[in-house]
Every structure is written in structure tokens, then in C-alpha cells.
Amino acid sequence: MDFLKNIVGGKPSQAPLDPAEDADFADFAAAPAPAPVSIPASPADAQAAIPTGGANFAAGNLPRQLTYTKWYRVWERTQLSDFMMEGILIPFILLALVVHFWGTRTNRRKARKWMAVHEPLLQREFAVVGYNAAPTESEVGTPDAGLFNELAKRSGNDVSEDLVKEKTAWEFETYATGRQNVAFTDIKISLKRRMNPLMMIAEELTGMFIESVKPKPERVEAVIYAFDGKEKDFVPPPIPGSEETGKSRSVANSSYDPFVFAVVNKLAMRRLRDERYDLSLTFTKDHAKLPEWATVMSESAEISDWLLTKELVDAISTAGPDNFQYLIITDQPHDKPTTLDETAQKKRLHIALNLPSSDAAYIHTLPLFALFLRLPDYLVSTSKLRPEVARKIKTTREQEKGKLKKISDKEAEEERLRQMDKMKKEERERKMKGMSADEQKKFLERENEKQRKKSEKKMTRRG
């Protein structure tokens, strides 16, 4: 009836429906009011909260507590066998970390040891040694054997971080400047990759079969860049108000004749000639003054006789074949130049010494390194070649420049022809755009006829 009243327009009944009169809600008539669920204090309480029979559910006595589960207790639902893969990997990871930290610390210790031994020599020759260092007054005097013995015993624990910079875990660098006849000096210490044993083993195995990838021994490479009479371009002018203001500051002539000269270990001779362009200009010849394991690479025998002084030969002999690699005086680039601009003179002095295997072995390389630092002074004071030798060296330079000039001219001519062809093609396309279809056809026929006549002329000339 209420339904019909609603259709006709009567007001709907506002009285609540009695669940007892509706059979669809009979099952929920005896349901208790909802209550918040409590968390069991222990597994025993949770077990006791579970109903023992279906009668309790039928009577409406539902449990008011969460059932106990092992999901929240990892130690009860896992076993040690579940972590078998982690147990295998973790020891290898720990071993790799231990080897890495041991290798980096060992390399740092070796680099600091070298710096500690050679720092006094560098301080004697340069005003600034290292990075972020203030100028210091250098001691005057030639180092002797007593000083070398003291330096070899120095420890690297007290070396400042500003003196040597860690470029990578196996390469360290330092820098020195502030000296007459020398613009600056770069020094690089190359060590083994102790932090990566797999890489070391791979290099050693590969080096047995391939000469080009043979790993280099631990060594120190130093490069001195000479001023060559360009002090005014690099040295800043005096500060106004200083003692030098108003005075004519005289700059010594630090230039010397250009040439390429080297004393190398015979084991490294072939590799150096292949890698360095400047040494490819020299002639290799043994010298009576040098030991059997060393040889000379020079542009002139006169240069060899002049540079191989008794002090230099004795220092090389003291270093020995296990420590000495090469000593190079050059004005030519390391890599083969490709343009005329790259042939500009850049006078440099190079030295490479293997890192001593023990602390006591530093006594063998210190005399040669000290002599190397003072070699620019000897070059400036005595480098006056005879006109015939200087002319021969200049001729060699001009021949190399001539080869580059021919290559440069050939490339310029090819570029000019490419530009002309491009312009002709653009002009042809411009003409054809303004033509009709018949005119374009006639234009192409004339081009083909010209091309045919040119080909016939070429065939006639060949015949």
C-alpha cells in the first residue's frame, strides 16, 4: 500500500522498518553492536580468543582479538638456508673492500715517501713547491753524498697534503716553480693498481703476448719547461710601492740552441722511438762514456760529446738499469705535428726513473734527480753549437715543415675544388628552377652532349 501511495502522490512512510517483519534481515537481528578490536598481549591470549566451535559463531559470539601469525616475526618464518647466496657474496665483498683500502693506503704511502725524500732538493731549487704553498727561501749549495744519505732515511708520514696531490688511486702529482731559467716543473708518480688485483693480473698476462699493452713499472716522470728567454711574458711586473719599483729589473738571457738529445735505457729504446716524434729525428749510437745498458739518441755527435759530462755519466751509472729509463732534452713536440702551428719550439727536459723497490735504494737515484734539476743552468751557460751543427739541425726542422706545408696545401686545394663544385651545383639548380619542362629537357641534353665530347677527347688523348 505504501508503494501505491508513493506512486499516487502520497507521502512516504517515515516509520522505521521492523527487522522482525522482513525475512531478509532476520539473520542480523541478534547481532551485537560493533566494538573496537584489541591486540592480544601474547600468543596464548590470541589462541584463547579463537572460538572453539561453530555454535559460538551462530550465537553471535565473534572473536574480538587478532589471530596470532608468524608474518611479523622474521626469525620464526625464515631459516639460515634462505640466506645462502648472501653468505657466499658477503665474504667476497668484504675481501674486495679490504684489498681496495690496502692498495690505496700503500700507494699513498709510496707517493708520500718519494715526496719526503725529494722535497729538500726541490726546496733548494724552487721558491714554490706543491699546491697552495707560499714562497720560501731556498738554501744555497750543491747537495753531496751526506745529504743524500739523510734524505733516503726520511719518512713520508709528515708530508703535507699540499705537496702532493692524488689524481687517481694510482697517480699522484706535484708542482714546482720560481726558479731562474725554469718556468715550472711537473712531476707525476705512477704506481701499480694495487686496489684492483684483477686488472693487474690481466695487464701482466696480456703483456706477455702483446708488447703495446705491457704494463709500465712504478716510475716517476718529471718535465722541466724552460723559459727560453720569455720571462717577460710569464713573470708579472713588480707591485707598485715595492722595493723593485723604479728600478730597471734585468732579466738574464735564458735561451739556448734548439736540439734533441736523449740518454735512454736500451730496453726502452724501441718503444720510445715509436711513441715519441721528437726522438724519431735522432740517430741512435752507443757512446764510450756510457755503460753498456744505455745508449744515446742525438741529432749530432758533437751534442753528445758536449752533454755527456763526467757528473751526468756517473749519476746515470749510479742509478743503474733497474732505475733509469730515460733523460731527454728536446724542443720538438711529443706527438707528430699535423699543422705548422704545432711545430713551434717548446723546450723541455724529461726524466723517467723507476720507483725504488726499497727505501734504501733511493740513494741511487737522488744524485741523478738533483743533477736533472740543475741541467737548465748548464744548457743556458754553455749551449753554443757550431754554425755547421746548428745549420744541420735547422735543415731537419725545415724539411719536416716542408712536408706539413705540402699536406696543408693539398688539403687547401681539395677544399677549394669542393667549394667550386658546390657553387657550380647551386648555379645549375638555380637555372633549372626558372625553366619549363621542355627547356629543362634541352638543358640536360646539352649537358650530356658536353660530357660525351669530354669523354671522347680523353679517350683520344690516351690512344
**Model confidence over 291-329: pLDDT tens digits?**
999 999 999 999 999 999 999 999 999 999 999 999 999
Do residues 24 and 55 share a domain? yes
Total domains in the chain come to: 3
Do residues 352 and 428 share a domain? no
Residue where a domain terminates, one of 46, 77, 108: 77
Mean pLDDT of 22-30: 55
Band of residue 239 on the pLDDT scale cut at 50, 70, 90: low
For residues 101 and 134, the model is more confident at: 101
Do residues 408 and 319 share a domain? no
Do residues 310 and 373 share a domain? yes
**Model confidence over 46-76: pLDDT tens digits?**
555 555 544 444 444 545 555 555 566 777 7
Band of residue 452 on the pLDDT scale cut at 50, 70, 90: confident
Contact status, residue 168 vs residue 176, Cβ threshold 8 Å: no
Separation CA 173–CA 191 (nearest Å): 11
Contact status, residue 367 vs residue 318, Cβ threshold 8 Å: yes
pTM score, whole prediction: 0.73
Contact status, residue 127 vs residue 139, Cβ threshold 8 Å: no
Do residues 365 and 310 share a domain? yes
Separation CA 342–CA 346 (nearest Å): 10
Structural domain containing residue 282: 89-237+250-391
**Res 236: pLDDT:** 64
Strand pairing partners for 70?
A: none
Query: Within a domain: residue 134?
Result: yes
Strand pairing partners for 226?
A: 182
Residue where a domain terminates, one of 77, 111, 145: 77
Do residues 330 and 256 share a domain? yes
Band of residue 177 on the pLDDT scale cut at 50, 70, 90: very high
**Res 416: pLDDT:** 87
Residues 6+ apart with CB under 8 A from 352: 219, 220, 221, 325, 326
Do residues 404 and 283 share a domain? no
